[in-house]
């Protein structure tokens, strides 16, 4: 545990959060969202990762491919997902989010 009176960060200190840690924060943020049945599987061979993180200066751009639950309003589900991702990354990850793109690749039943 750091003590502020002992450790003073200098200009050469760096802080970096790996994409895998950010992806875990994103997954935790959406796991309980009603209307999301999971991450989109790769049916075509084109989709390598269902969560893409693009770093742009000090901000992040997120693209996430999901499956929605049949019968749910996907636009509303997407808005909740976007809100939770931004809140999680900014509050827990300490990073600024510029944009979150949510792409529903299909629907399924829970």
Over residues 41-51, mean pLDDT: 72
Asked whether 30 and 79 are in contact (CB, 8 A), the reply is: no
Number of domains observed in the structure of the chain: 1
Tokens standing for residue 7: 């450790």
Query: Is residue 35 in some structural domain?
Result: yes
Q: Is there a domain that residue 1 lies in?
A: no
CATH number at residue 100: 3.30.70.1350
Residue 24 region by backbone torsions, left for phi larger than 0, else alpha for psi between -120 and 50, else beta: alpha
In a domain, 71, yes or no: yes
The verdict on pTM exceeding 0.95 is: no
Q: Is 30 part of any domain?
A: yes
Instruction: Report the alpha-carbon distance of residue 65 to residue 52 in Å, rounded.
Output: 9
Q: Which residues of 66-90 are buried (b: 16+ CB within 10 A; e: fewer)?
A: bbbbeebebeebbeebbebbbebbe
Does 53 reside within a domain? yes
Q: Per-residue confidence at 1, pLDDT binned at 50, 70, 90? A: very low
pLDDT score recorded for residue 12: 62
Q: Facing residues of 38 across strands?
A: 67
d(CA 105, CA 12): 43
């Amino acid at each position: 545990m750091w003590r502020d009176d002992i450790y003073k960060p200098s200009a050469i200190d760096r802080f970096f959060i790996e994409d895998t840690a950010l992806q875990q924060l994103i997954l935790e943020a959406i796991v309980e969202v009603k209307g999301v049945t999971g991450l989109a599987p790769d049916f075509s061979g084109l989709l390598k990762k269902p969560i893409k993180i693009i770093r742009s200066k000090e901000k992040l751009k997120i693209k996430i491919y999901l499956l929605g639950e049949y019968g749910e309003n996907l636009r509303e589900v997407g808005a909740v997902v976007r809100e939770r991702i931004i809140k999680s990354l900014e509050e827990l990850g300490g990073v600024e989010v510029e944009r979150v793109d949510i792409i529903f690749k299909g629907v399924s039943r829970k």
